[in-house]
A and B are shown apart, each in its own frame.
Chain A
């Protein structure tokens, strides 16, 4: 279980506001995070990853303390074992597809498995600049999975994929998530995405 009860002061188009999040996410499951733009969905993912520090509150992952504002404790990003798929991919311009995955794991068989899941086998030696938008997005997903994270945070991670590719990829990803017991939090604007296979957390203004 992910227990999160935090307050983060964020700047919105209306000025400074408090983002209050008090909820729980079941681990080993997929949860879609929905809500209007600017409500703080990406901030929530970044808070869980340790990239943004809340002003108040506590975060626990399966009982393990990740953050406590009172004692000023924050588990290091590197120790949280999260995978993050950034909305703008954040691919490394200097690394080929294969190098992206090797940066996360030395397990060659696992790299081959990931490349197969993303249908990226023939793009191993390509730099991100030589990939299409959809290929870049798939690479961002595969890279986040390369470290075998316990928690996968996905920010609009399927928006650039065409329908056929997306359904193929989703089916294989679901199998991988189940096999590795990965907890997935997926920010999405697409109501139908993973519907029926996931819980939903709706963030309101």
Chain B
């Protein structure tokens, strides 16, 4: 059995999750503040991958990333970067596709924190940044872990967008979900079963670990 698609899936999920942790938390924090029209618009756009068929998103990303069109041409001409049928393209597509899985739980957690926690911190002379780091983030740890795991697991199981953007290039874009599809297409059910079982096992262990962690480590501090 070729383990490369599994490693590629894990690598893609890890990079996507790491980037989304850095990008998603500030966006979620911004969105959790007073509701304004631009925020509602941004939130609606971020939520779109949840309801759009992956093929629709994949199709438009394929057009956007194509070196024949504006954005893709600019990337190709100025940064010598080709996103279609490349691992970098998969990463960018995964970030867009998994955005709601990172942002929604974190935004919701920010929204459920009592407002006077931040106010108490401000009256102690602390800035918004200090308050975020020392007060808000430590008190939504469980939600951040959950969001990270959801993002990781979702990226691991991604298929539609990956197929549209990356195709099926061994060692570059052939992730585990594509390898399963590929094996089924060639009637190699044994390989398909191996890949599917491994994905199932990895995902199950991750989700189980989070449940155990949330139960043991992140107790309600007011209990």
Contact = CB atoms under 8 A, between A and B. Distances in A.
Interface in B107-142: 114, 116-117, 119-127, 134-135, 138-139
Most buried by A among B116, B119, B123, B221: B123
A90 interface: yes
Contacts of A90: 114, 116-117, 119-120
A141 to B, nearest CB: 12
A143 B124 contact: yes
Contact of A103 (B122, B127, B134, B223): B134
Contacts of A78: 122, 125-127
Nearest to B113: A93
A88 B125 contact: no
A51 interface: yes
Contacts of A146: 124
Contacts of B119: 49, 51, 77, 84, 86, 90
B143 to A, nearest CB: 13
Contact of A127 (B114, B117, B135, B221): B221
A161 B63 CA distance: 67
A121 B135 CA distance: 23
Contact of B122 (A77, A81, A127, A129): A77
Interface string A81-99: 1111010101111100000
Contact of A84 (B120, B126, B135): B120
B220 interface: yes
Interface residues of A, number: 26
A27 B121 CA distance: 24
Contact of B123 (A77, A93, A94): A77
Contacts of A49: 119, 123
A143 B116 CA distance: 14
A104 interface: yes
A93 B122 contact: no
A94 B221 contact: yes
A166 to B, nearest CB: 22
A128 interface: yes
A147 interface: yes
Contacts of A80: 123
Interface string B96-114: 0000000000000000001
A103 B119 CA distance: 14
A38 B36 CA distance: 29
A51 B223 CA distance: 29
A104 B114 contact: no
A143 B125 CA distance: 12
A125 to B, nearest CB: 14
A129 B222 contact: yes
Contacts of B135: 92, 94
A87 to B, nearest CB: 9
The 4 closest A-B pairs by CB, nearest first: A93-B221, A94-B138, A90-B116, A90-B120
